[in-house]
């Protein structure tokens, strides 16, 4: 075993004109979340506890698109989704269509541990939340003034707002990033306004146990009832014996490529190392889609890859390595 490791993300694809102050806010939040995870790992908490703890922190802060600060549906409401997976025995839980659950990732874990199912959605998930006694809030709690403004822009443009733009170069590993001016067009609709993105955390503890968790409010101006990749095990989230992965970006492309599971698959079947597997999957499985992901291995390695313009991300390992970045 190579010791514990942790990675966290706040979304792939960043407006190159994002104000410097907003970039610094994002880095501070990612650093705070890493410190929470590091402290938990040093205290010998299992990886599954660590990823839940970190994602709860991200859901509570309105900076990124999960929990409070989630993107709004076409009706101006919030519908959140999340998933969590424990590498040992590949246990998992997922939820969609949440409108009152303060921390969706924790309800996903309760689905995993307190129900006979792996996935609950909409009214069934809300009823399960009430039965489990989780903290509930009004839908207005999740809505921010900034996102109300973004929804207005989306409706005026008759488009769905994403937060990623095509980078100057194709595949980006963790050490490379570039700005771009050309907006991405999807299904003939322009995507040219910054919006927040999905959050996620992956960790491996000192016992070599991997876990992953992902949470999101989805797309700005999405249709009600839309489900993305984040709650889909094998697409947006996956953890097994070899690694843990959390994805972010164009959900429909991530779903088609079963992106998270494919990283583990090429490690298992092709014998690739963690970063090799991440690079292969981002390059070969997204087709024309735009996304990114973070990953840890049971050997204490961290990795990421993206073909978007930047990705909010942070990493730390037991040997003292720590890095938080957006572009480079």
Annotated binding site for substrate: 226-229, 248-251
> Does 216 participate in catalysis according to the annotation?
no
- Rounded CA separation 16/164 (Å): 9
Task: Write out the binding residues.
Answer: 226-229, 248-251
CA distances from 273 to 185, 242, 268, 276, 279 (A): 33, 10, 9, 5, 10
Residue 124 · residue 118 · CB < 8 Å: no
With tokens 């981002």, the residue in question is: 282
Would you state the structure tokens that stand for residue 301, as one six-digit string?
A: 């390695």
Looking at 73, 99, 198, 317, which residue is catalytic?
A: 198
- Rounded CA separation 230/82 (Å): 6
Burial of 323 (0-12, 13-18, 19+ CB in 10 A): middle
* SS3 state of residue 323: strand
Catalytic residue positions, numbered? 198
């Amino acid at each position: 075993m190579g010791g514990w490791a942790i990675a966290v993300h706040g979304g792939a694809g960043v407006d190159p004109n994002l104000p410097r102050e907003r970039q610094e806010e994002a880095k501070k939040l990612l650093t705070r979340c890493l410190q929470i995870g590091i402290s938990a790992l040093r205290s010998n908490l299992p990886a599954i506890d660590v990823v839940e703890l970190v994602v709860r922190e991200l859901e509570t802060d309105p900076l990124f698109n999960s929990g409070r600060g989630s993107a709004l549906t076409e009706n101006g409401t919030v519908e959140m989704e999340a998933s969590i997976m424990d590498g040992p025995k590949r246990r998992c839980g997922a939820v969609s269509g949440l409108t009152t659950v303060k921390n969706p990732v924790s309800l996903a874990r309760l689905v995993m541990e307190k129900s006979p199912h792996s996935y609950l959605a909409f009214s069934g998930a809300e009823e399960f939340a009430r039965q489990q006694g989780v903290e509930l809030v009004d839908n207005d709690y999740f809505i921010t003034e900034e996102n109300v403004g973004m929804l207005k822009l989306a409706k005026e443009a008759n488009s769905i707002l994403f937060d990623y733009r095509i980078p100057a170069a194709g595949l980006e590993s963790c050490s490379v990033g570039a700005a771009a001016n050309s907006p991405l067009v999807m299904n003939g609709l322009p995507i040219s306004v910054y919006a927040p993105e999905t959050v996620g955390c992956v960790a491996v503890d000192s016992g070599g146990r991997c876990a992953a968790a992902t949470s999101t409010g989805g797309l700005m101006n999405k249709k009600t009832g839309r489900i993305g990749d984040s709650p889909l095990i094998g697409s947006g989230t996956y953890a097994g014996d070899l690694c843990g992965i959390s994805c972010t970006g164009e959900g429909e492309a991530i779903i088609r490529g079963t992106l998270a599971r494919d990283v583990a698959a090429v490690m298992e079947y092709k014998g690739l190392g963690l970063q090799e597997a991440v690079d292969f999957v981002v390059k070969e499985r997204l087709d024309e889609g735009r996304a990114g992901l973070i990953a840890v291995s049971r050997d204490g390695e961290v990795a990421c890859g993206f073909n978007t313009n930047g990705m909010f991300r942070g990493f730390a390992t037991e040997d003292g390595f720590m890095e938080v970045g957006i572009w480079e």
